[in-house]
Amino acid sequence: MTFEELKNIKEIIIHDGSKEYRANIVEIPDMVKIIAAPVSTIIDSWMKKPVDIFFTLNDKKYTFSAVVYLPDPQKIVIIKSGDIIPDKRIQKRTEIGILPATISAKPMWKLLRTTEIEIKVVDLSEGGAQIWAKESLDEDKQYILSIILRNHKMSIPFEIRKKIGQRENTFMYGIHFTEISDTDKKIINRYLTKLSGDRKQKDIFSMDIKNALGDFKKSL
CATH number of the domain within which 169 lies: 2.40.10.220
Where is the domain boundary, 42, 64, 86? 86
Domain containing 166 equals 94-219
Each residue's pLDDT expressed in tens, for the chain with a length of 220 residues: 788 888 899 999 998 766 778 899 999 999 899 999 998 777 677 778 888 899 999 888 898 888 999 888 889 999 998 888 887 665 556 656 678 999 998 766 655 566 889 999 988 888 899 999 989 999 888 899 999 988 899 999 999 988 888 877 889 899 999 999 999 999 998 888 877 665 433 333 334 445 555 555 555 5
170 shares a domain with 103:
yes
142 vs 145: CA distance, rounded Å: 10
113 shares a domain with 25:
no
212 contacts: CB under 8 Å, gap ≥ 6: 18, 97, 98, 122
161 shares a domain with 180:
yes
109 shares a domain with 23:
no
133 shares a domain with 172:
yes
DSSP-assigned beta bridge partners for residue 24: 11, 37
72 shares a domain with 121:
no
140 contacts: CB under 8 Å, gap ≥ 6: none
66 vs 59: CA distance, rounded Å: 22
Q: For the chain, what is the domain count? A: 2
End-to-end CA distance of the chain: 43
107 shares a domain with 173:
yes
Where is the domain boundary, 44, 69, 86? 86
DSSP-assigned beta bridge partners for residue 120: 100, 132
pTM of the model: 0.52
Distances, alpha carbon 143 to alpha carbons 63, 130, 170, in Å: 23, 14, 18
- Contact status, residue 11 vs residue 166, Cβ threshold 8 Å: no
Where is the domain boundary, 60, 86, 112? 86
